[in-house]
Structure 1
Amino acid sequence: MWLDISRGSYRLVEFNQASIRGLNALGENSFVLSLQGARTTEKARILNIRISIFSKGDRNNIASNLSSNEQLIELNGHPGNQSLSFSVSLTNEQLLAIEDYRQFGDLALHCRLEALVLSEDGDIRQSNSDSDYHIPQQEWVKALNQSGFQDSYLYEIPLPATISDIKAMLSKAQSCIDIGDYQNAVMECRRIIERVEELRGDHSQARTASNKLKDNGLRKGMTANERALALREGVKNICQLGAHGSEEFSRSQARMILGMTLTLLSEPTVGSVVTKEG
């Protein structure tokens, strides 16, 4: 990244480093974008500093006219370091759209920094600077975790208290989706269902219920509980492709399977396993 605040052809402040971190705020996903750079030996006052953020390719708007934490920079003719930060809050829907855009790679953004520059003689000029900004995958995923987005996304369906190994598998499945490892995300969902079957001891009932679906006469007489067991068995069978099939799962498919696994866990008749550990 390279952004600057200029007066005509004179660069007053140059920013060549950027970082982002998440903040866990009540009811929203908050982030802080920080710019680091240096001020030159020019003299001026810089006002009304703001930044807008877009997706890099199609320049879709993500956040507009975010005000800087510092709205007045006094340049006194001496060089030195200069930093700015901007706070932005995004909804779950916005973040999901960003994740679909990012896929499993770095997050490619385009930033526009704007400010008003007041010179010593009272002349006011507008400063505009544009630059692409690539956030490495690891840094972005860390910021997502810090913001609390992963918690609300993973546990959006209320889950009962369950055992630690299932919780660990859920977290691993989500982490695999974050980095684009969709096959292993699906395999973790299968492991979760197999663990639930083991703890509940209802594997044979689920298989029997699934077989009933193939017979029109038997299917008509199936109870809601049998149908739920058959649904769980069906999700497990989809996951089987992750281990033995040649088919590649997409991001949306992996998210669908994780969502269905979460839903099954939340239902006491086919999931909701609580045991005493230790």
Structure 2
Amino acid sequence: MKHNIEFDNRIWGSAIFDRIAINTGLGFSRITGNLEIFTNQNEGPDFIEWMQLRCQWQARGRNGKEVLLGTGQLWPDRFSSKKEVSISNIQVMLDLDYSRMAALEQLRDGHDIYFKLHLDGWARRGRHANPEEFRLDCQSHVPLSEWLKRLDESGYKKTLLLEIPVPDVQKDEALSRAAGHLEMAQRHLLNGHYRDCVGACRDVVSAIDFIEFSADKDRDLRGVTEGIQRKASDLRSKDERIYLLRNSFKQIAHAARHDDRLPAENESSEGRGNALPFSWEPEDARLAFSIAAALYRYSYEMKGGRNGG
């Protein structure tokens, strides 16, 4: 369904909002859609620059009940269109946590789902014209069969919910810093920046180390690790085993914050002139994020228990 874009009661173009898809991660889902902007070839100006675009997502379910889902993202959020190039494709995205995704399913109530996109921003009609504010409302209808197919493809029903508490920054700055790194890791994972995701997960564990040892700033963490490793495995305490797990993961993720290279075959670790690069794949980032989230949650609960909170 086309939706007209009007200026001064004249139609300068139209838009279609469709191709709804779902990608599911650890405790969140990303809904994406495609927005096609069509320039009016007859009456529109030769050049339109669209800028500072923002979008709000809304859903309508059974019996016409509607709910505001939140502010989404657009890519690109600024572009230009010309008469000779009639179509511009914009990707619109919205991240929902598990509870909001469940609320969306409750709104759908076993029927079709309708998504509304409220778009606003500024447009310059002509290269030297002043920008004008505009608004555009689009709707996309997703039939029940199509929505169920998208849910199945995304693995939504197979997703395990992991709640990640976010502490009050004024009460616990260190934990809040770790939570911020975890949020950044999730953002990198969603955007396909897998190396940056693993690097942010490494920062999560570094922040947890600060929490554990901030009371003893002169403590040699390497000495702590070596001391635990020298112990017989059956003599290590639970906390010591968890510490070794955390330290091992930190060693894995450490490379994403430095030179991601391995020595070439038959080359010593000291000689890195012919080092071979290695890449971070989606499964690496998902594994790193899962471990970092679990370690953060454990540290949060242990610290809360020690503080009586």
Compute the TM-score of the two structures, normalised by the length of structure 1: 0.49
**Highest RCO, 1 vs 2 (Cα 8 Å, sep ≥ 6):** 1
